[in-house]
Structure 1
Amino acid sequence: MTLVKFWSDPACYWSWRTGRWLSAAAEQRTFDIDWRPFSLKVLYGAEMNPDWAAMLGTSHAALRLGEALRAAGRPADAARFYTAVGTAAHDNGEAFTEDLVRQAAKSTGVDDLFDAYHDPKWDEQITADTHAAIASAGPDVGSPVIALPDTPRGIHGPVFETIPPADEAGDLYDAISRLAKAPYFYEIKRGRPS
Structure 2
Amino acid sequence: MSDNGKTPVDFWFDPLCPWAWMTSRWVLEVEKVRDIEVRWHVMSLAVLNEDKMDQVPEQYREGLRQSWGPVRVAVAAEQLHGGEVLGPFYTALGTRIHNRGEGLTPENVREIVSAALAEAGLPESLVEYLDKDSYDTELRASHKEGIDKVGQEVGTPVIAVPGADGGQIAFFGPVVTPTPQGEEAAKLWDGTLLVASVPGFFEIKRTRTADPDFSNL
- Please indicate, yes or no, whether the TM-score normalized by the shorter chain is above 0.5: yes
**What is the aligned residue count?**
194
- How far apart, CA to CA, are the structure 2 residues paired with 1:186 and 1:29? 24
Task: State how 1:19-168 maps to structure 2 within 5 Å.
Answer: 19-48=24-53, 49=56, 50-97=58-105, 98=109, 99-110=111-122, 111-149=124-162, 150-168=166-184
Residue aligning to 2:215? none
Unaligned runs of 5+ in 2: 211-217
Which whole-Å CA distance do the structure 1 matches of 2:152 and 2:59 have between them? 24
Give SS of 1:34's match: strand
| Segments of 4+ moved more than 4 angstroms | none
In 1, the alpha carbon distance for the partners of 2:27 and 2:37 equals 10
For 1:31 and 1:152, the matched residues in 2 are separated by 14
Q: For 1:51-101, what per-residue CA distance to the aligned partner results, in whole angstroms no more than 9, with x for missing partners? A: 134433333321222222322344343211111111111111112132322
Does 1:7 find its partner at 2:12? Answer: yes
SS of the residue corresponding to residue 148 of structure 1 reads strand
What is the match of residue 173 of structure 1? 189
Quick one: which amino acid aligns to residue 100 of structure 2? N
Percent identity of equivalent pairs: 33
**Contact conserved, 2:9 with 2:37, CA < 8 A, in 1?**
yes
Q: Are 1:17 and 2:22 matched, yes or no?
A: yes
Against the structure 1 CA distance between its residues 30 and 70, is the aligned structure 2 distance closer, same or farther, given a 3 Å change threshold?
farther
Distance in 1, matches of 2:167 and 2:191, equals: 13
In 1, Cα distance between the equivalents of 2:168 and 2:9? 13
Point out the structure with max Rg over C-alpha: 2
**Normalising by the residue count of structure 1, what TM-score does the alignment of the two structures yield?**
0.89
Determine helix, strand or coil for the equivalent of 1:72: helix
For the residues of structure 2 that align with 1:80 and 1:25, how far apart are their CA atoms?
17
- Summarize deviations over 1:8-45 as a string: whole Å, max 9, x none: 11111000000000111123222221111110000111
Distance 2:15 2:88 in 1: 12
Bigger proportion of residues as helix: 1
